[in-house]
Structure 1
Amino acid sequence: MMKNWILGTLVLFSTVVSAQSRLELREAYIEKYKNIAIREMQMYGIPASITLAQGILESGDGTSDLAREGNNHFGIKCHSDWNGRRMYKDDDEDDECFRVYDHAEASFRDHSLFLKERSRYERLFRLDPYDYEAWAEGLKDCGYATNRRYPELLIGIIEDYELYKYDKMEYTPDGDVIASSGHVVLVHESGLEYVVVKANDDWNRLSMEVDVTIDRLLDYNDLKWDTKLEEGMIIYLERKYRRGSVEKHRVQEGETMHSISQKFGIRLDKLYKRNHMLPGEEPKVGEVLTLQGYRD
């Protein structure tokens, strides 16, 4: 009985670790390729959410043989018009020919051209560019994939990881990703994405423009419903980390626990915990706070 319990526990632990590893792979894939997908959307009109979801699904989060060995993230086969390098793998039939690219970005570009330049996909470009569900169904109807569940799988990925928010962003020549409102989506030194509040911003407008619910924005930024937006405030678009971007910080005049948590991208409750402080307590000027590890 004990052996069975131990075996069951090990299997469960292995499953949890595997799921966590897959989650990390997927989030890393999105972070790595989202800007490319946004740029391709601007140039060719394919929703960035669809491109990312297809890349995730077709490449197994970038871990498939085609992606690793051939930089082919979309499972595009050679066809008669392909003159580039090739690799062969079993798919619907044995030993099928697939395209090989010099780098992943070339695969994303070829995916855009593959859809844009083939008449069978022409009707896709008459769809609402924000209707990712219609695009997912349309890809199956046009024959991109034989799996009946293909639309369902794409939609699931898009909604689970909120990929639809990238459909309302722009990519500028200097490399900035900009929300539809004109808010530049900046990257904190910790790697977190955030925007800076503008004059006359309110929660409803900001939420719609960055496509993140008010509840989540408040949660991500340790704020309450009655908090008013003020020009210059940092608003994170994703959950802050359990540790700060620096090891320690000496408190300056006018700083609060909340402002410090925002400055260094650390969750407010974790900042309190790391310094053995009670929620609501404020540090003294000159006091040294620990943002990584725990205070002595």
Structure 2
Amino acid sequence: MRYISLFTLLVLITFTATAQISREEYIKRWQLIAIEEMNRSGIPASITMAQGCLESGNGNSELSRKSNNHFGIKCKKGWTGKKVYYDDDAKNECFRKYRTVEDSYVDHTNFLMGNPRYASLFELDPTDYKAWAKGLKKAGYATAHDYDKRLIKIIEENKLHRLDKKMNYQELAVFEQQSVSPGISNSLMLNPYNTHKVVKFNDIKSVVARKGDTYEMLAQEFGLSDWELYKFNDQRAGYRPVPNEVIYIQSKKGKASKTNLTHRVQQGESMHFISQMYGVKLKPLYKRNGMKAGQQPNAGQIIYLRNKRG
């Protein structure tokens, strides 16, 4: 009995470790970043999503799992990021490695936009997924002779062309199964961008980050430039927010509200944390407290939020 139990456990562990993501799960997980990248570049979200499905095996390929490379993009000349090596058209070829899947999607857009080989694609109608699929094949994105047909099949079987109208995957089912009630605009159903609730801290508009959010995605959602969000939040370019983190979509103020004069530092709190908590710019916060940029406070220390330290 003990032998059977151990064997069963090993089978379960093996099954869990190799569990495959379904195509539907993959689409649901990454659809919004495909739509965001379409908004940034004009590349049909249906094409990006279909390529992601095909090139990564719905996120199950070794390259996508271990390197977050969902589009099979090779290193090419000028790539300065991390690299991995796999046998593909030739032995031991160099592929790009990304920190996150989102980075792979963003680089896919940049790769197509920055390569003269694909320039003619951007003259096509952004809703003509068939022309884009054929254009990618003609430009030599992949060596498969039926690459365009594979992409079109994925798009049509999963109705991904609806993504090009900024309607996400879950909304497709809702849209097909129930009608919109009289007097209620269907814009909420058709617009997957404005999904973050705006709240205010120190009378400054902000949102709370969710899993998978990036500054680039949020900037597009609220009609801002990437650099603006990084500046508003005193963050370096490329920073990725964590779930439940407050992100300001307006510039923070030079000092806190009148009801918040000081803050007693708790264990582990940084000056940036305090800056975000009260909606105060980091530079004047350091200056007001006689501290150098990058210096961190000690637990129990009093941080002055409005007036200079006495």
Deviation at 1:156, TM superposition (A): 0.2
Matching residue within 140, 150, 163 for 1:166: 163
Deviation at 1:193, TM superposition (A): 3.3
Q: Distance in 2 between matches of 1:25 and 1:235?
A: 29
Q: What SS does the aligned partner of 2:119 have?
A: helix
Matching residue within 79, 83, 86 for 2:83: 86
Deviation at 1:147, TM superposition (A): 0.5
Deviation at 1:231, TM superposition (A): 2.2
- Alignment partner of 1:147 is 2:144: yes
Matching residue within 105, 110, 128 for 1:108: 105
CA-atom RMSD in angstroms = 2.8
TM-score by length of 2: 0.51
Q: Distance in 2 between matches of 1:57 and 1:88?
A: 20
Indicate the residue corresponding to 1:72 in structure 2: 69
Q: Distance in 1 between matches of 2:185 and 2:48?
A: 32
- Deviations 1:47-80, CA, capped at 9 Å, x for gaps: 0000000000000000001100000000000012
**Gap regions ≥5 residues in structure 1:** 1-20, 170-178, 180-184, 196-209, 238-296
Deviation at 1:233, TM superposition (A): 9.2
Deviation at 1:234, TM superposition (A): 9.0
- Deviations 1:59-115, CA, capped at 9 Å, x for gaps: 000000110000000000001211111111000000100000000000001000000
Greater than 2 Å deviation, 4+ residue runs = 192-195, 231-237
Deviation at 1:167, TM superposition (A): 0.4
Matched residue type, 1:133: K
Q: Distance in 1 between matches of 2:72 and 2:161?
A: 22
Deviation at 1:236, TM superposition (A): 12
Q: Distance in 1 between matches of 2:84 and 2:163?
A: 32
Matched residue type, 1:153: R
Change in Cα spacing, 1:27 to 1:194, as seen in structure 2 (3 Å) is closer
Percent of matched pairs sharing the same residue: 48
- Alignment partner of 1:193 is 2:190: no
**Gap regions ≥5 residues in structure 2:** 1-18, 190-310
Deviation at 1:194, TM superposition (A): 7.6
Indicate the residue corresponding to 2:52 in structure 1: 55
Indicate the residue corresponding to 1:99 in structure 2: 96
Change in Cα spacing, 1:236 to 1:26, as seen in structure 2 (3 Å) is farther
User: Which stretch shifts more, 134-143 or 24-33?
Assistant: 24-33
Q: How many residues align?
A: 171
Q: Distance in 1 between matches of 2:119 and 2:184?
A: 44
Change in Cα spacing, 1:194 to 1:113, as seen in structure 2 (3 Å) is closer
Matching residue within 112, 127, 132 for 1:130: 127
Deviation at 1:229, TM superposition (A): 5.0
- Deviations 1:151-184, CA, capped at 9 Å, x for gaps: 0000000000000001011xxxxxxxxx5xxxxx
Q: Distance in 2 between matches of 1:193 and 1:42?
A: 18
Q: Distance in 2 between matches of 1:122 and 1:60?
A: 27
Indicate the residue corresponding to 2:39 in structure 1: 42
Q: What SS does the aligned partner of 1:193 have?
A: helix
Q: Distance in 2 between matches of 1:117 and 1:132?
A: 20
Change in Cα spacing, 1:235 to 1:160, as seen in structure 2 (3 Å) is farther
Matched residue type, 1:193: E
Q: Distance in 2 between matches of 1:148 and 1:54?
A: 15
Matched residue type, 1:28: E
Matching residue within 16, 25, 30 for 2:27: 30
- Deviations 1:109-164, CA, capped at 9 Å, x for gaps: 10000000111100000001110000000001011011011000000000000000
Indicate the residue corresponding to 1:231 in structure 2: 183
Change in Cα spacing, 1:78 to 1:28, as seen in structure 2 (3 Å) is same
